[in-house]
Copies of this chain bind each other. A is one copy, B any other.
Amino acid sequence: MKPPHAAPDQRTGSVQAGTKHAQASEFSGKVDQGGSDCMAVSSMLQRIGDKWTVLIVSYLGNGPMRFNALRREIGNISQKMLTTTLRNLERDGFVLRTVTPSRPPAVEYELTQLGRCLLVPVSGLARWTLENIDRIEAARAEYDAKEG
């Protein structure tokens, strides 16, 4: 693994404005996006950035749910992907799977503590998305307009 920011000169590890945009942005907190951490972030984003993970975690945020309940709620997920995604979530310790041996068997999924606290940063990104999606779509429209 090659650590990002192998940049020799600078090892600040924070987003500092370049020469032109030196003025502070509207946010006050410092952003330490620049260090060797970006690999971890990148990996995490790819991990939860797949098609269904966040959606499922969100639904499970409401409380425990059974397999087909989850499936019905989401609506258009194949059971293969639901199974796969739940398995991965279970493996990472985000979701707890509980089998009740009845007939037919009942399987309940619920968020673990780790899974619930994952919702915190994710909801931060959610908030940001909802706050800025208009600007993003406007930018897209403008860009596409210029292309023809």
Contacts and interface: CB of A to CB of B under 8 A. Distances in A.
Interface of A: 1-2, 4-10, 12-21, 25-27, 29, 31-35, 37-46, 48-52, 54-55, 57-59, 61-64, 73-76, 90-93, 110-111, 113-114, 116-133, 135-140, 142-144
A75 B123 contact: no
A19 B110 CA distance: 11
Contacts of A4: 55, 58-59, 61-62, 73-74
A6 B115 CA distance: 11
Contacts of A49: 45-46, 48-50
How many protomers of this protein does the assembly include? 2
A107 B117 CA distance: 41
B35 A58 contact: yes
A35 to B, nearest CB: 7
A138 B93 contact: yes
Nearest to A92: B136
Nearest to A12: B120
A38 B54 contact: yes
